[in-house]
Amino acid sequence: MNPTTTAFKIDAGTKIGHVALKVANLAKMTTFYQEVIGLSLLASNEQESVLGVGQTTLLRLRKITEPLPLTRRTGLYHVAFLLPTRRDLGNALFHYLQVEAPLAGASDHGYSEALYLTDPEGNGIEVYHDKEHSQWDIRADGEIVGVTEPMDAEGVLGAADRNWTGFVPETTVGHVHLKVADLIASDTFYTEIMGLTLTRNFGSQAKFFAAGDYHHHLGANNWLGANVPPMEEHDLGLDYYTYQVPNAAELTRLAEHFKENGVDFKKESNRLTVLDPNGIVVVVEGE
């Protein structure tokens, strides 16, 4: 794969669509994401549950046979659900404390406030809200600098109206954070092939990427070290994740860019499927 250009940029309106997980205990995981996290069940059968808000899919859970446990492999570090306001985050925190949810941390990142949890099968979850854009630390070169400081939990709880009925309809998947094997190859793929912008560079440890002027739609880290093997079919964890582009024309433009750069991909109706350098399945869907 030898990119013909480094100037390609995906449409600035591109966002994350949904995340799909391979699970061992479909019933337990479905209940957890409904009753603890705050998603609604949109559809289900013996093999799959579709969860989201309103009529919008944010998470798919697929039951697999003879599952292998989460191990040292590439895949999902966390899926991040973006709530529209600090009040919504306060309501979520109040609920999580009430139900004794598996909270793993709470951070202020400068551009956001975030809660961290782990699901029953070891997948990471972030639930966050963005601060006003004017509060973001955006440098002259476009880098969006974040911090990791303790979250003002009392302030977040104080913003709550304690009217919890699950995630509000405006909730989205704000970003996805991946465990990768090769950070340099991941940088090349996501900037030159997918057309994202590198918004934060942690050197040899992690990188953040985005479409448009967002702080990040994608995080990638190599905290597991070198030579991390890709996931296999029966590994629990990430199945695939999706990007949503604004229209069919942008999907066609991306497909042509893939062809020009010799990228293997599959096109089906209004979606493209491609493998990143870490064996992670990436799906791009047009509206």
Domains in the chain and their CATH numbers? 15-286 (3.10.180.10)
**The pLDDT of residue 74:** 95
Token pair 């209004």 is at which residue? 270
List pLDDT tens digits, range 151-207.
999 999 999 999 999 999 999 999 999 999 999 999 999 999 999 999 999 988 999
**The pLDDT of residue 6:** 53
pTM of the model: 0.96
Residue type, 133: H
DSSP E strands, 206-268: 206-210, 218-221, 237-245, 265-268
Q: Closest Cα to residue 221, out of 179, 276, 176, 175? A: 179
Q: Which two tokens stand for residue 127?
A: 């639930």
Q: What is the mean pLDDT of the chain?
A: 95
What is the C-alpha to C-alpha distance for residues 208 and 68, in angstroms, rounded to an integer?
29
Checking if the pLDDT of 69 tops 90, the result is no
Structure confidence at residue 17 as a pLDDT band (50, 70, 90): very high
What is the C-alpha to C-alpha distance for residues 89 and 96, in angstroms, rounded to an integer?
10
Percent of the chain having pLDDT more than 70?
98
Residue type, 190: Y
**The pLDDT of residue 4:** 43
Checking if the pLDDT of 5 tops 70, the result is no
Structure confidence at residue 3 as a pLDDT band (50, 70, 90): very low
What is the C-alpha to C-alpha distance for residues 7 and 208, in angstroms, rounded to an integer?
18
Checking if the pLDDT of 2 tops 50, the result is no
What is the C-alpha to C-alpha distance for residues 90 and 56, in angstroms, rounded to an integer?
23
What is the C-alpha to C-alpha distance for residues 90 and 164, in angstroms, rounded to an integer?
10
| Total residues belonging to the chain | 287
Checking if the pLDDT of 1 tops 50, the result is no
- Which are the contacts of 34, defined by CB distance < 8 A and separation ≥ 6? 40, 41, 51, 166
List pLDDT tens digits, range 109-165.
999 999 999 999 999 999 999 999 999 999 999 899 999 999 999 999 999 999 999
